[in-house]
Amino acid sequence: MSYMNPEQQQQQGTSQQQALQLSLQLIKEAVAGEREDQLFYEYLISQAPTNEEKLIIASIRDDEKRHNKLFKMIYKDITGQEVPPANGEEFQKPKSYKDGLVRALFGELRAVEKYRVIRQGLPNQYYRDILFNIITDEIKHSAKYNYLYTFNSQPSSSRLPQTVSAPETQTQSVADQWVTYIDPLVKRALKETEEGINLTHLYQEFILSGVLVGQGFTPEQAIEQVEEWEKTGESQLLKKSKMMGNQQR
């Protein structure tokens, strides 16, 4: 059992309090601009060309509403107060539906970064578990947005991979079949997130693998291809971001 002198204990207590205050500040930022977010989702749903896509975006919107309620609950439990109202940024209409999908995709990835910091500063495992579930949802959302973007960019992407089994095609929507198909990518991203992999490198691998899946690769082939590009140096950007991650650990 390690022993800390009073000065070390004080320093640790100060560090934990600072981390908690940062988490509370980021929670306030996370729930700010709810009205603007609602307008953004309404825009995407109105522009989505198929009912399938509308349902996907609506499900993401509903998840985000639930996340906001959880953040507000955590904030009130810790502080005894409601999250103070804040003026969010004005809604800026995307240039196009595809531009909106790109904005949404990278918004989800930025949220993962922010929520990891929130999770680290929370005072107990109960709240940290809630954040882990929210982070998992955000990564799944990014996979869905990646699917929507690829679907609208490549005509062939509307066809399911032949490796998807018949029972799944009978019980799942097209979108959910794709999400199930790329589940290895999501699990890999979650595992590497927990291992503290450099986020820039993680996102590069994750999004690039998803694009390759949209081009006809299996998830396993996509991962292998991206790793090959990294190892051979064919992608200098992947190699550089991986080295940055190694230096930080």
List Cα–Cα distances, 186 to 108, 118, 146, 166, 219, in angstroms. Answer: 14, 21, 12, 22, 10
Write b or e for each residue in 57-86: b if 16 or more Cβ atoms lie within 10 A of its Cβ, otherwise e: beebbeebeebbebbbebbeebeeeebeee
Tell me which residues of the chain have a pLDDT lower than 50. Answer: 1, 156-169, 246-249
Torsion over CA: 63, 98, 218, 193 (sign): negative
* Residue 56: closest CA among 135, 140, 182: 140
CA distance 57 to 103: 13
List Cα–Cα distances, 87 to 22, 24, 185, 194, in angstroms. Answer: 19, 17, 36, 33
CA distance 224 to 206: 12
CA distance 113 to 105: 13
Q: How many residues does the chain have?
A: 249
3-state secondary structure of 160: coil
Specify the pLDDT at position 241. Answer: 65
Specify the pLDDT at position 46. Answer: 95
Asked whether the beta carbons of 104 and 44 are under 8 A apart, the reply is yes
H helices present in the chain, as ranges: 6-31, 34-47, 51-79, 97-121, 125-153, 166-171, 174-181, 183-194, 199-214, 219-232, 236-248
CA atoms within 13 A on the CB side of 134: 27
Q: What is the pTM of this model?
A: 0.64
